[in-house]
Amino acid sequence: MTERLRRHRRTKIIATLGPASSTPEMIAQLFLAGADVFRLNFSHGAHEDHARRIEMIREVERKFRRPIGILADVQGPKLRIGTFQSGRVQLSAGQHFILDMNMAAGDTRRVCLPHPEIHAAAEIGATLLLDDGKLRLRVLRKQGEALLTEVLNSGTLSDRKGVNVPDVVLPIPALTPKDRADLNFVLPLGIDYIGLSFVQRPEDVAEAKALSAGRAAVMAKLEKPQALDNLEAILDFADAVMVARGDLGVELPPEEVPIAQKRIIRAAQLRGKPVVVATQMLESMISAPAPTRAEASDVATAVFDGADAVMLSAESAAGQYPREAVNMMDRIVARVERDEDWRKGIDAKRPAPEKSSADAIAAAAVQVAQTIGAQAIVALTESGSTALRVAREKPDCPVLGLTASLAVARRLAAVWGVHAITAPGVHSMTQAVENALKISRAEGFVKKGDEIVIVAGIPFGQPGTTNALRVARL
């Protein structure tokens, strides 16, 4: 029988699957190297490709008897220009350039922008960013269904490049018809998180949650300045959030992105919502076997800030060194968490408990565990909320999340410090204590004479009733 796997770090790792990592052998290698959650990027790949990846992940899960989370990341509303007669044009700073609704191929004077929402919402003076911000245009005048703009910097523009509109809240839903088709396909296959792209308002999250109908948690990707304006409201709706620094770094000045990252992490921590830091974390490892020192520092910063998880994108999906990238991230995270200043920083940033019995019990459990030197806090959790509340306190000892639901255990795979385990439900505190001790020992967390702290909700089987705390010795 395969030995049960245990991570010796709290911060989780998400690895994106793609052409470089879509065999059973490679997925198993990535899991053993440190991946806790696998991301499927629905901007690429056919439905049957993703279905095969899901089956391979579940086979690895069965083999190693550890719950593995799956994040289905939908594309969202991609705004793009049309095509050019010659495939590309050279634009010069100061020249005028027209964006219109004419589907004819463009030239150095104009190109199609087939998005009436942008034409309607753009104001005089608004900035349009093309090709990931490489070209910047300023709106000078609106002429019917056309925008007359001034080119702010010289550069080449080619077919179907993306458009970002940082100054405007666009009246477009976060879920496109493609996203809905993708989710209708993948939700019945058993995913754990929906990655919702280009969230602007809490209503975007509500729309995804209605479509999910409880089958998957919704992770709002924060990559637009408008999302930062509505951060607290979005967090109230979302189950988790991602600091998606790719598009966020296009629409915000570069110097603002680290500040936004820290603000998002802090706001998510206050609410006990998992928060992921993503994009370009070990970018050079797409083609090199080792990261730059700056990239290693970037991963470390997210860990010092208390992010629940850090994510690899192209590094594991299409790079030449997918296993090495996951292993490197695992090594960086583990090293940071052994540092004395990391623990001091985590303790200093611990949020005050909310005024609820669940938070009071979670905070007390952490205090008791620290006082008695407990080897683990065992959270018996029906919906995952008890484990989330304890994880919010960032205890010094591991958190064992015991749940009868495999779906809940898989979602907890993305949560800071939680070692999720599926176990049959219990009906009394005596039974709960016996199970907690037995499982803690079997999982290698305690030995004879060690103490654990147990947190649960009574009556058992009712979600959201965290109200009981026990100390037990093996």
E strands, 115-256, are 127-130, 135-143, 146-151, 155-158, 163-164, 193-196, 217-222, 240-244
Cis peptide before 459 (omega within 30 of 0): yes
| Interatomic CA distance for residues 172 and 276, integer angstroms | 25
| Interatomic CA distance for residues 399 and 410, integer angstroms | 15
| DSSP single-letter state for residue 286 | G
Question: What tokens appear for 310 in the block?
Answer: 């850090």
> Three-state SS for 407?
helix
* DSSP string of 88-149, one letter each residue: EEEE-TT-EEEEES--S-B-SSEEE---HHHHHHPPTT-EEEETTTTEEEEEEEEETTEEEE
| Interatomic CA distance for residues 271 and 388, integer angstroms | 10
Rounded to the nearest 5°, which phi and psi values hold at 167?
-90, -5
Residue 210 contacts by C-beta under 8 Å, 6 or more apart in sequence? none
Task: Tell me the CA distances in angstroms from 291 to 7, 203, 210, 331, one per residue in order.
Answer: 22, 39, 41, 12
Q: Which residues are catalytic?
A: 39, 80, 221, 279
| DSSP single-letter state for residue 84 | B
